Amino acid sequence: MSKTFMYFAYGSNLLTKRLHVQNPSAVKRGCGKLKDFQLDFNYYSKRWKGAAATIVPKEGAYVWGAIYEIDNEHIPSLDNQEGVHDNVYFPLEVDVETLEGAFTKCRVYQQCNNPPACDNLANLPDDRKPSAVYLNLIRRGAVESNLPEDYVKFLHNIADNGYDGEVDVKMNIT
């Protein structure tokens, strides 16, 4: 049995510094595309002062993200960070397509209670908008992870709730 697992990050954990807060063994192995899912925002996060990212099934859509290799001993800390025990997210095993066209089995997290997918993230309902500070962290992580330029542009078109103040994260996010 392997001593590590592969993890697909599409939200704030795109930024390695953020993931390392609770998962110091994480090593970025590249980026990839999760097919037949769409990025969305739903659950209000007190930590981030706005809606948190999720993935929702949608045929023909895709979500870009970073692929990390993490020691198995950090599964509990990653689950804790994602709120698994509070029924905020649940883990899935998915096939992520790499830039080279290969597929990698990865652990990913999806929110437990997802509304129907929002087709236009530039026009999210107010209660589903992420905070500006959270969305900017995702954008920084996307650039750090070398996600495709058109996907980074897509992230810049997502509406936020305007909040850009302090958040409850044990790291300096600036």
Annotated catalytic, 82? yes
For the domain 4-156, what is the CATH superfamily, name and number? Gamma-glutamyl cyclotransferase-like (3.10.490.10)
Token pair of 60, please?
A: 């023909």
Secondary structure (3-state) at 82: coil
Taking a C-beta distance cutoff of 8 angstroms, is the pair 67, 105 a contact? no
Token pair of 99, please?
A: 């830039």
Question: One of 59, 73, 82, 100 is an active-site residue; which one?
Answer: 82
In residues, how long is the chain? 174
0.75 exceeded by the pTM?
yes
Both ends of the chain: CA-CA distance in Å?
39
pLDDT, tens digit, for every residue of 94-152? Answer: 999 999 999 999 999 999 998 788 889 999 999 999 999 999 999 999 999 999 999 99
Q: Indicate the domain borders of the chain.
A: 4-156
